[in-house]
Chains A and B, each alone.
Chain A
């Protein structure tokens, strides 16, 4: 059976639009807990209080921009990110996979950043090794979607909408192997272009702003997405099974 678990409901937290401290913490939690992915599956109210706490993440948290001063209109850093299916995950013959989602977040005036990590292993019909390189896959990269002040989400400098497409191409008859994709989702209030993100910089990201390096001022981890598959086209009936969550 395919395992599919999606957090579909994200609450919109009340985030102050004036002076903000350096971090957000959930009431009663420690700073280190921020590194755990938040997969809110319940639209329950969660109260936050703001506190000056030591930053334990090796990555600076968003919201520390020196230009943020009292009285300025600021965006709301995301405290949650989840997904909703546009096209349910589907595994088909010879390693073909498709899963399209859209983002749900309570952040505004910032960017959703996803770190993608890819793996491939197997053999093609001629017995040659299948690897990330032979499939045209970059092992790891970052990509970003902009979230406007009203919460509208777009990609590719506004050329694409709120959509993330995970697709794996077929490896041909008589092939066999496994693949995996991991997406670690963060937030940043700083334009990733300042960190060198460019549209089309990484082919696997399509036209999204992307880079092989992390952008500045990433938040703690908000969500981890995974998909994997194992296909076998060496027998009479091709098979391809996996999980996506």
Chain B
């Protein structure tokens, strides 16, 4: 028996960045794409309306939205204002337009294991509104490859291209752990 779309969206919304599993975002995107743009947004808003956002702001949906939608230049995906991060956004935002997500062969890899925060962050609904206005729903579901062969090397290449230097060992290990969860 399949999992209900609501449950898939909820799992993505509540997932922690430190234990990020790309499959969770892939599943959420792929259950939302067939709903069409407005249907997908309605499903996300419905979920948010039922969540206790004061205690769990469903920030995993920030990642889902950045993969679910494309944005036509000159507009860009709105930056995530969740705190300080390592790595920070690349100097040229267009080098990694979905930062902190980088899509490698339809696998949404997360570059940041968490944020250093002493304050508060905007709600997911602000990004929902942005994508309602400016987002283009991706044309097809994500189709990750059957194996992770070569994905880590491609991530490292994209990182090096964006930052001008290769990722640290810790950053590589963080992404490698994600691939092992796929």
Contact = CB atoms under 8 A, between A and B. Distances in A.
Contacts of A203: 81, 83-85, 88
A16 interface: no
B86 A167 contact: no
B84 A136 contact: yes
Contacts of A200: 81
Nearest to B87: A136
Nearest to A144: B119
Chain A interface SS verdict (over half): mixed
Chain B interface SS verdict (over half): loop
Contact of A169 (B54, B116, B121, B173): B116
Given A86-B55, A155-B120, A170 B18 contact: yes
B115 interface: yes
Nearest to A173: B173
Given A96-B114, A167-B115, A203-B81, A160 B55 contact: no
A202 B81 CA distance: 10
B123 interface: yes
Contact of A204 (B114, B118, B123): B118
A159 B119 contact: no
A48 interface: no
B126 interface: yes
Interface of B: 17-18, 54-55, 81-86, 88, 112-123, 126, 168-170, 173-174
Given A165-B120, A165-B121, A205-B118, 14 more contacts: A96-B114, A118-B116, A125-B170, A136-B84, A136-B85, A136-B116, A143-B118, A166-B118, A170-B18, A175-B170, A204-B119, A206-B83, A206-B119, A208-B119
